[in-house]
Chain A
Amino acid sequence: ETGVTQTPRHLVMGMTNKKSLKCEQHLGHNAMYWYKQSAKKPLELMFVYNFKEQTENNSVPSRFSPECPNSSHLFLHLHTLQPEDSALYLCASSQEQRGEETQYFGPGTRLLVL
Chain B
Amino acid sequence: AQSVTQPDIHITVSEGASLELRCNYSYGATPYLFWYVQSPGQGLQLLLKYFSGDTLVQGIKGFEAEFKRSQSSFNLRKPSVHWSDAAEYFCAVGPKGRDDKIIFGKGTRLHILP
The reply to whether B49 and A42 contact each other, CB–CB distance below 8 Å, is: no
Q: How many residues of A contact B (CB 8 A)?
A: 27
Q: Does A102 contact B (CB under 8 A)?
A: yes
- Bound CA–CA A42/B90 (angstroms): 9
Question: B51, B99, B102: which has the most chain A beta carbons within 10 Å?
Answer: B102
Q: Contact check, B34 vs A4: say whether CB atoms are below 8 A apart.
A: no
Binds B, one of A48-56, A67-75, A77-85: A48-56
Contact A100 B104, beta carbon cutoff 8 Å = no
Give, as a whole number of angstroms, the nearest-CB distance from B35 to chain A: 11
Residue B114 interfacial (CB < 8 Å): no
Query: When the two chains form their complex, are residues A42 and B44 in contact, meaning their CB atoms are under 8 A apart?
Result: no
Q: In the assembled complex, how far is the CB of residue A78 from the closest CB belonging to chain B, in whole angstroms?
A: 19
Give Cα A50 to B101, complex, Å. 12
Seed contacts A99-B100, A107-B42; 14 additional CB < 8 Å A-B pairs: A2-B43, A43-B104, A90-B43, A96-B98, A97-B99, A97-B100, A98-B100, A99-B31, A99-B94, A100-B32, A100-B96, A104-B46, A105-B45, A107-B43
